Structure 1
């Protein structure tokens, strides 16, 4: 088998045998790895002057992988998280190759030793209740598209669902009778049950009345009946946020994405005094540390905690460090 044929065989075996048959990876993982390898192969082809079909395993060196990761982060404008996702797809393949092609172990080890890049941990962007209300007021609910957008954004805020979890929603996952709830499938195909407000149930019912869907069909679709994409929802949401910022100026300084509604759900639940373990189950977090991040982000919760602490009384006599004219003399007394 030629070297080019060997690489194409290994890549097919990686996706079909390893990811799908042996690991039973989700469709989202397969698509993420597929997109990473599309970009990587095109990048290597451009640098080597070869066609993608002529690339061999020996062309995929650690140096090429590092250059591609830098290109993905800086030239394509990706985040460090995106860069690490691309690296995960590449490392997973070469980890597989090491078990199938012992002659390439040295090359595989070099690539597997490329480290995950640490990213700064920023506070999540979350929305105040008034900001959520302002955004939800923007869709024109007299139209089918506006009704759909209003129902989708309301559902995101009610359930705290990730955007893809909401876009994958089918009517058979919703319990319309009291007590109303929805069954969501999250990362790792883990299922969880989330309660629904009566108002959210009413919005979903009205949407189904305007555009009936089979029990196993996606609920949120475009004008052609095709499932909405996450990028399409982000585009629509950006327009609603710009309109809402006219009456709610605080939105102008916030980068609002569909995930911001998930953050808002968590922060508002914490503000309401809901136990953090319940919120973890609500949002489908694996680790409680992830949920605790929202407790640190909520300024209002911190303010309420401060109000419960008594203001320290001012002592009648000044402390020694204020009475002493020499700071160095005071330090000598310690």
Structure 2
């Protein structure tokens, strides 16, 4: 028979996150990974096997020790620690409505503070540095024209690398006003205007690869030799080279 923790965790990940809240697969995977690590912590550090782990084992002290374990034993950053805490807090915030007798214990866990971390200074490129960066690709070659278009699109949209990788032809509007529909975390889409230069590059690039033809709406804008969308690593390599 499943423990109370196992039963509630299953409902939280499947019914609550996936069903009621409609979280993305990436978000659910992140939450799932957090609880996998929590289970490993109890097994390895407290000698409590998964099949015996119950809600009574989860209190503010145990969760704090788990967070410290992430940083000391697994060498996680403060940012990763805070992400794990956010997932655990979400679970206990929801659990208050499932078992009110545990509200006090849940609220003790919800009171655990996130770890403060220094905010890195954000360095911006000057106009001249940006101009030189965008001029780097060799536009006499097909890969160079792709790279020039990719960099210009990245500059205009300020997209994350994964957001750029996920762009499909249907996300690009070249008719005035030209824009890109960029979908980010939580499947939230923002519409970003494109400059005339980027619009010109995209129009030529899509035509060169026959992506301006009917039936290509779901094709990735930036793709590899197998016509699969570029990976985050592939885009990072283009940016750095």
- TM-score interval, normalised by the smaller of the two chains: 0.7 to 0.9
Aligned-pair CA distance for 1:216:
2.3
Q: Distance in 2 between matches of 1:154 and 1:223?
A: 21
Structure 1 residue runs without a partner (length 5+): 241-334
What is aligned with 1:97? 95
What is aligned with 2:229? 227
* Structure 1 residues 106 and 170, CA gap change in structure 2 (3 angstroms): same
Given that residues 146 and 222 in structure 2 are in contact (C-alpha distance below 8 angstroms), is that contact kept between their aligned partners in structure 1?
A: yes
What is aligned with 1:210? 209
Aligned-pair CA distance for 1:138:
4.4
Given that residues 169 and 220 in structure 1 are in contact (C-alpha distance below 8 angstroms), is that contact kept between their aligned partners in structure 2?
A: yes
Aligned-pair CA distance for 1:136:
3.5
Aligned-pair CA distance for 1:53:
5.6
Given that residues 165 and 184 in structure 1 are in contact (C-alpha distance below 8 angstroms), is that contact kept between their aligned partners in structure 2?
A: yes
Aligned Cα RMSD in Å?
Answer: 3.1
Question: Which 4+ runs in 1 deviate beyond 6 A?
Answer: none
Report the TM-score, using the length of structure 1 for normalisation: 0.59
What is aligned with 1:34? 32
Structure 2 residue runs without a partner (length 5+): none
Aligned-pair CA distance for 1:89:
0.4
Larger Rg: 1
Matches within 5 A, 1:122-141: 122-139=120-137
* Structure 1 residues 114 and 159, CA gap change in structure 2 (3 angstroms): same
Residues 55-108 of structure 1, C-alpha deviation per residue, up to 9 Å, x if partnerless?
443444433322332344455454433322211101101122222234544442
Q: Distance in 1 between matches of 2:5 and 2:90?
A: 15
Report the TM-score, using the length of structure 2 for normalisation: 0.78
Q: Distance in 1 between matches of 2:76 and 2:197?
A: 38
Matches within 5 A, 1:1-334: 1-3=1-3, 6-49=4-47, 52=50, 55-73=53-71, 76-139=74-137, 142-144=141-143, 146-208=144-206, 209-210=208-209, 212=211, 214-237=216-239, 239-240=240-241
Q: Distance in 1 between matches of 2:145 and 2:38?
A: 41
* Counterpart secondary structure, 1:97: helix
Given that residues 169 and 218 in structure 1 are in contact (C-alpha distance below 8 angstroms), is that contact kept between their aligned partners in structure 2?
A: yes
* Counterpart secondary structure, 1:126: coil
Residues 126-167 of structure 1, C-alpha deviation per residue, up to 9 Å, x if partnerless?
2223333444444555254x5444322221111222333322
Total equivalences in the alignment = 236
Given that residues 44 and 60 in structure 1 are in contact (C-alpha distance below 8 angstroms), is that contact kept between their aligned partners in structure 2?
A: no
